[in-house]
Structure 1
Amino acid sequence: MSAAPPGGPWEARVAAADWETIRSDLDSVGCALTPPLLTTAEARRIAALYRDDQRFRSTIDMNRYRFGEGEYRYFADPFPDPVLALKRALYPRLLPIARDWWTKLRRPAPWPDDLDEWLAMCHAAGQTKTTAILLKYETGDWNALHRDLYGELVFPLQVVINLTSPGVDHTGASSCSTNSGHARSHAAPPPSSPRRMA
């Protein structure tokens, strides 16, 4: 029996995505979809973690901070699989896109080839808190337009994975991303197939 690959099935799913199309979509509309990166069972397992206080370092009531209505929790370190495996698989795929964007903006691209090196740079700059979150929305909840920044060192791309199935687990809902500084935005319902990166 052969050993499982280091990134498990998630690394293979990330690798199987059409990264040329993803890059083109990111460049043209600011967001992109992948094929499903999680199985339904994996998505449900991650969603079920929300009730496990030991998995999270803090909980945010969005209304309290005027972020919207709803709640989210910051994962504690170490991240559960597949969260960590997906971070490791996605970073080298998104890195060339981030570097290209920064080159076009005539900015130095500070990101090293290795995710652990990037995290070490963040920690050395005092950015030591985990930033991966799990959101929970109930009927009527919403999230205000915002920028997720934590400190001076930032990575310009963010990954969002829908853990529920629109039309099965809920109705309604939409997602919107804007490109600040440009007169364009993109709004769309969540992907009909859950577990995709957006």
Structure 2
Amino acid sequence: MMAEKVQRLGLSAGVDTDEARADFIRHYYDMDQIVLNEALFSKKPGKKAVAKLMLNSLKVDRGNSTIIIDPAKFYRIFHDKFIEITPALVVKHRKNVKCLTSSRTRAMQIAAYTTSYARFYLYDFMEKVGGENIFYADTDSIVYRIPEGEEDPLENNIGSFLGDLTSELSGEMLEFVALGPKTYCYKRIYE
């Protein structure tokens, strides 16, 4: 990321000869073991900003931060008069498995039953369409093609009631790309 940031910043004002460029690149390698590619030097503020953001998100103040797992070590540092504790304290925690209780407003078994039952409907729809025609399927959606000259096998299942399918596509789909669950896009012709 540092190499990306330096390269997208462009060369400094005084670095205008081949020798100066070589010295500049060598200096970065000698000081920080950062390998710079001379061919990639060009002012690109957008790429520089992204590289800078990535560097800032990776930055850790290692000299003044300590990861503490042992409570005794925490109290030693906390009560050390030579150490000033900053106001920020990050505490990682999790629920004790033995103490987990279900909330009165939550019912995991109903949520699991509902999504499982919805899957039965989806499998039925998938069988009607045929596996060779399915592009994408998720808990509550199915993207499929209708072979030329055939009718839509799910036409009678489209409606606005619970258990009915909703057609979210008006027009004809030309291209479809899915990268993973709930990550897809398509190109269409409007009717």
TM-score of Structure 1 vs Structure 2, range by shorter chain: under 0.3
The structure richer in helix per residue is: 2
Which is higher, the Rg of structure 1 or of structure 2? 2
TM-score by length of 1: 0.19
The structure showing larger relative contact order (alpha-carbon pairs under 8 Å, at least 6 residues apart) is 1
TM-score by length of 2: 0.20
